[in-house]
């Protein structure tokens, strides 16, 4: 039964124009960046790209992680529960032999699998275009670990948006709140990092690390830092360069934020009444 719900959720999300638009934008970015890099052939750019040409796959793999993937995640996840309430379709499922726990779990997994598949599509595009336009790519042995870190770190905002959607039960509001948390957290984090640099007080860095955006965005960059000659790409795409956090910190924060958000979501789903269609 969970399988049915997973497939249902994936189909439901893909049927939404907002999600499809975001995926298309990301694909255009993904392809566009390689086409742009291959077309702009100034001596300076040649000089810059030449040493990293064999690892240019990393650009396409890390690019969505900075922001776009999080927006796709929020778009899918914030509507997961809230749209069921808005459209009244939640009644259809919960008046079947489907427990609320199974319903929530199926939708959560369906949405998350879809996010993972979208990301894997981006990775395939990145590998294909980097190989086609810049020749044979190296250090692809890092790829599985990198994919895992990106998918894992997307859990933070996936869970937060799922929670907000369940709590407010209105899709536009849930998307707005979740996106504001993402953007707000990135902006505040960036300011705190700047203040830490100015004052030399590491406390600001600690606070910046504790915000949801740091763990959600930095883990893949920290992992990619282990790839030889990757520093240029990592620094160019990283949102919080130079913050002294570790991969363990990022993992703990991702687990922490995700767990809290999911616990709140399920407590709400399991204990609150389902009102008649809201919208």
Partner 1 sequence: MEGVEVIELKKSYGRRKALAGISLRAEPGKVTVILGPNGAGKTTLIRSLMTLIFPDSGQVRILGRDPFRHKEVFNRVGYVQELPNLPPFMSGRELLEFSARIKGVPREEVDHVLELVDMRENANRKIAKYSKGMTQRIALAEALLGEPDVLVMDEPNVGTDPVLNLRLRQELEKMKREGTSILISTHELEEVKRLGDEVYFLFNGELFFKGTVEELVLRFLGVRVVVETCDRESLLGVLKRLDYVMEVKESGNRFLIRLSSDKREEFLRELVLNEVRVRGFFLDQSLEEAYEAAVREAVRA
The Cα–Cα gap between 130 and 150 comes to 19
Closest approach of partner 1 to the CB of residue 270, in Å: 10
Residue closest to 153 by CA, chosen among 80, 227, 240, 214: 214
Contact 136, 54 (CB under 8 A): yes
Nearer to partner 1, 1 or 28 (CB): 1
User: Whose Cβ is closer to partner 1: residue 47's or residue 273's?
Assistant: 273
**DSSP tag of 164:** H
Contacts of 70 (CB under 8 A, 6+ apart): 154, 157, 182, 216, 217
The nearest distance, CB 77 to partner 1, in angstroms, is 18
Least distance from C-beta 271 to partner 1, angstroms?
Answer: 7
Q: Which helix (H) or strand (E) holds 165?
A: helix 155-168
The nearer residue to partner 1, 98 or 210, going by C-beta atoms, is 98
Q: Which residues lie near partner 1 (CB under 8 A)?
A: 1, 4, 8, 11-12, 15, 87-89, 91-92, 94-99, 271, 273-274, 276-277
Cα–Cα distance measured from residue 142 to residue 129, given in angstroms and rounded to the nearest whole number: 18
Structure tokens that stand for 256 in this block? 């922490």
Q: Please identify, using beta-carbon distances, which residue of 8 and 29 lies nearer to partner 1.
A: 8
Looking at beta carbons only, is 56 or 90 nearer to partner 1?
Answer: 90
**Least distance (Å) from partner 1 to the CB of residue 12?**
6
Q: Tell me the closest approach of the beta carbon of residue 266 to partner 1, in angstroms.
A: 15
């Amino acid at each position: 039964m969970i399988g049915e719900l997973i497939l249902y959720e994936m189909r439901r999300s893909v049927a939404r124009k907002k999600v499809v638009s975001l995926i298309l934008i990301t694909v255009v970015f993904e392809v566009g960046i390689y086409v742009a890099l291959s077309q702009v052939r100034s001596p300076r750019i040649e000089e810059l790209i030449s040493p990293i040409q064999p690892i240019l796959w990393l650009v396409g793999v890390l690019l969505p992680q900075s922001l776009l993937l999080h927006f796709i995640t929020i778009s899918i996840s914030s509507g997961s529960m809230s749209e069921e309430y808005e459209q009244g379709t939640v009644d259809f499922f919960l008046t079947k032999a489907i427990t609320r726990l199974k319903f929530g779990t199926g939708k959560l997994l369906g949405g998350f699998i879809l996010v993972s598949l979208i990301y894997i599509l981006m990775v395939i595009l990145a590998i294909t275009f980097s190989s086609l336009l810049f020749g044979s790519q190296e250090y692809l042995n890092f790829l599985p670990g990198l994919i895992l870190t990106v998918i894992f770190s997307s859990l933070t905002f996936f869970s937060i948006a799922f929670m907000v959607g369940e709590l407010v039960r209105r899709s536009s509001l849930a998307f707005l709140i979740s996106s504001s948390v993402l953007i707000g957290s990135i902006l505040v984090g960036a300011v705190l990092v700047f203040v830490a640099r100015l004052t030399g007080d590491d406390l600001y860095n600690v606070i910046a690390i504790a915000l949801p955006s740091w763990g959600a965005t930095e883990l893949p960059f920290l992992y990619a830092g282990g790839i030889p000659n990757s520093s240029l790409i990592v620094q160019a795409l990283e949102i919080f360069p130079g913050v002294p956090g570790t991969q363990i910190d990022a993992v703990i924060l991702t687990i922490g934020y995700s767990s809290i958000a999911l616990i709140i979501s399920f407590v709400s789903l399991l204990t609150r009444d389902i009102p008649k269609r809201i919208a």
